[in-house]
Amino acid sequence: MSAPTGKTPPHGGPDAASTDAASTDGSGGPGRTTGGDPAGARAPRSPVLSALVGGLRIIWGNRKARIGLIILGLFVLLAVLAPLLAPYDPKDNTFERNLDASAQHWLGTTAAGEDVLSQVIYGARISLLVGFGAGGISTVISVVIGLSWGYLTGVLADVVNFVVNMFLVIPGLPLMIVVATYLSNGGISMIIVVIAITGWAWGARVLRSQTRTLRGRDFVESARFSGERAPRIIFREILPNMTSLIAGGFFGSATAAILAEAGLEYLGLGDSTVISWGTMIYWAQNSNAMLTGQWALLFAPGLCIALLATSLTLINFGIDGISNPRLREGSTGR
């Protein structure tokens, strides 16, 4: 019998099988084996989850977007924790009227005897609700119409083109004023509907242009030749390649909705009994706040509107980095 030579047996032998079964533990130490047990291996991460985590990492890596996320997070906390943070009920009018800033009322009181700081805190709820509500509805309409319009051809595409161009030609603010006047006394839901139905056209135009560039790609042609129907091609093949553009459009629509809500409330076309930053400016103007020295009635809600709109705009810089690697590299300081 010859002595062992120490050579490695060929692949597929018993020794190779035992060698393949051996593995290291999480710290790199030997001696831990999995034995082919699937429980010992880490479950693969979902592609959707991986894309979401990667996108959030890119957005957070952008300095401007990071600042926007922090500001937005503060406003969200302000809205959620309003009952705990507000010193008084925002509609409590038992205080002395037109008080200046003091230890009891940090921003003073209104002409009706209500605490200004409490109204500013509660006003964040309406602005966020209108911004994300109207922005979300407007984005959904833009996606459905824009992608369908960009993929389809013929008479239907011409009809959609006419409708979109009509909405683009009509100035946005006058159109909102007319619709809001016609749907008066509808409350916040009316404001959301008005902003949504008047703010989707531009997003649809942008998505249509991008869809036109994608409809001739190989993967779309392959799906078409394989017999896939148009709705499946639009929403299963084209839509996933436009997520960053859609997300950017959503934040843009939310920014426009917040500013539009403040404008409509200031003009008295909304529900003046609702506590929002727009109605605060409306009542401050009616009570001649600047003439009586109540600067906080105008400055505080106006500053909050500007900061919230700025935060959403800054977040869009990070979203641009998802679809444009050049912007991503420049934002991370490389």
Q: What is the pLDDT of residues 150-195, one digit of tens each?
A: 998 888 889 999 999 988 888 878 888 888 887 766 678 888 988 9
Give residue-wise pLDDT tens across range 240-249.
Answer: 888 888 999 9
Residue 119: predicted pLDDT: 94
Q: Using an 8 Å Cβ cutoff, are 90 and 115 in contact?
A: yes
Q: What is the mean pLDDT of residues 126-149?
A: 93
Residue 9 has pLDDT above 60, yes or no: no
Q: 168: closest CA among 149, 187, 189?
A: 149
Q: Is 29 left (phi over 0), alpha (psi -120 to 50) or beta?
A: beta
Class of domain 49-331 as given by CATH? mainly alpha
Q: In the prediction, which pLDDT does 56 show? A: 80
Sign for the CA dihedral angle at 324, 330, 331, 333 comes to positive
The pLDDT, as a whole number, for residue 206 is: 92
**Cα dihedral angle (61, 65, 66, 72), rounded to 10 degrees?**
-150
